[in-house]
């Protein structure tokens, strides 16, 4: 199983002062040196953390870049110029602290299908960030996406073991359904060192994208060590 590291919150810290530190490039280099398979960044329409120049700079050093984005003409145009290996289309709300759930593919099929076609023409594979909902996953296959990224937030935020088990079963069923209809599967959101192991054990999930928990851990032990700890956890859980 691959591990992509979302370094958005390095940019959040930088933007708090509007200066140049901490360096996103150094963060990406440290992350890759620790053994991460790729870098994930989210170029939001409101530019609250990642900036356009960050995408350009990180594209130059990341052998495997996953660009999270809304399916808007401006961001699609930027993606087609930068040409990351992957784009993950996510929902955006102006007042959200972080992405709150998966896309409504069924209600936005025409716009999403057009975005996927444009990105694929630029040789960019496309993932849809989606809740573990079978009809939504079916709709994702119908509009031509190559991947889904299962939103694991409800699982990660479950308050008791019964709820954890229910959410985990949803993710397992969603993964099975996606694979059966020809989609590849990634997962992420809210995953931490104490709750990632059960997700790793699910067959056919190809990659986890994790950010906040690793950046938080890095405050105490350093970014490279924090990435290595998660990689070791994944290795032992596989």
pLDDT digit string, tens, across residues 177-210: 999 999 999 999 999 999 999 999 999 999 999 9
> Looking at 68, 149, 167, 207, which residue is catalytic?
68
* Run of H or E including 186: strand 184-188
State which residues of the chain have pLDDT below 70: 93-100
Cβ contact 204:186 at 8 Å = no
* Residue-level pLDDT at 97: 52
At 238 the pLDDT is 84
Q: How far apart are CA 181 and CA 174, in angstroms?
A: 11
Can you give the pTM of this predicted structure? 0.94
H helices present in the chain, as ranges: 8-17, 24-33, 52-61, 73-82, 109-121, 134-142, 153-156, 161-180, 197-200, 212-221, 223-237
Residue 144: the pLDDT is 97
* Residue 101 pLDDT: 79
Q: Which domains does the chain have, with CATH numbers?
A: 2-237 (3.20.20.70)
Whether 207 sits among the annotated catalytic residues: the reply is no
Residues 6+ apart with CB under 8 A from 220: none
Verify whether residue 189 is a known catalytic residue: yes
User: Which of the residues 30, 42, 49, 167 is marked catalytic?
Assistant: 42
The pLDDT of residue 152 is 97
Q: Which of 49, 151, 177, 189 is catalytic?
A: 189
């Amino acid at each position: 199983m691959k591990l992509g590291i979302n370094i958005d919150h390095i940019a959040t810290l930088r933007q708090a002062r509007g200066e140049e530190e901490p360096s996103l490039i150094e963060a990406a280099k440290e992350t890759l040196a620790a053994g991460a398979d790729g870098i994930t960044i989210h170029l939001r329409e409101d530019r609250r953390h990642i900036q356009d120049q960050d995408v350009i700079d990180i594209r130059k050093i990341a052998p495997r870049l996953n660009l999270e984005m809304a399916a808007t003409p401006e961001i699609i145009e930027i993606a087609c110029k930068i040409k990351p290996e992957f784009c993950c289309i996510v929902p955006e709300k102006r007042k959200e602290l972080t992405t709150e759930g998966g896309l409504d593919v069924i209600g936005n099929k025409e716009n999403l299908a057009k975005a996927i076609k444009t990105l694929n023409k630029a040789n960019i594979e496309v993932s849809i960030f989606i809740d573990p909902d079978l009809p939504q996953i079916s709709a994702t296959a119908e509009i031509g996406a190559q991947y889904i990224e299962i939103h694991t937030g409800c699982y990660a935020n479950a308050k008791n073991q019964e709820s954890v088990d229910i959410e985990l079963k949803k993710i397992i069923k969603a993964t099975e359904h996606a694979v059966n209809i020809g989609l590849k599967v990634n997962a992420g959101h809210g995953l931490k060192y104490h709750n990632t192991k059960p997700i790793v054990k699910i067959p056919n999930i190809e990659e986890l994208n994790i950010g906040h928990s690793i950046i938080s851990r890095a405050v105490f032990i350093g970014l490279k060590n924090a990435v290595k700890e998660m990689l070791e956890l994944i290795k032992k859980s596989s």
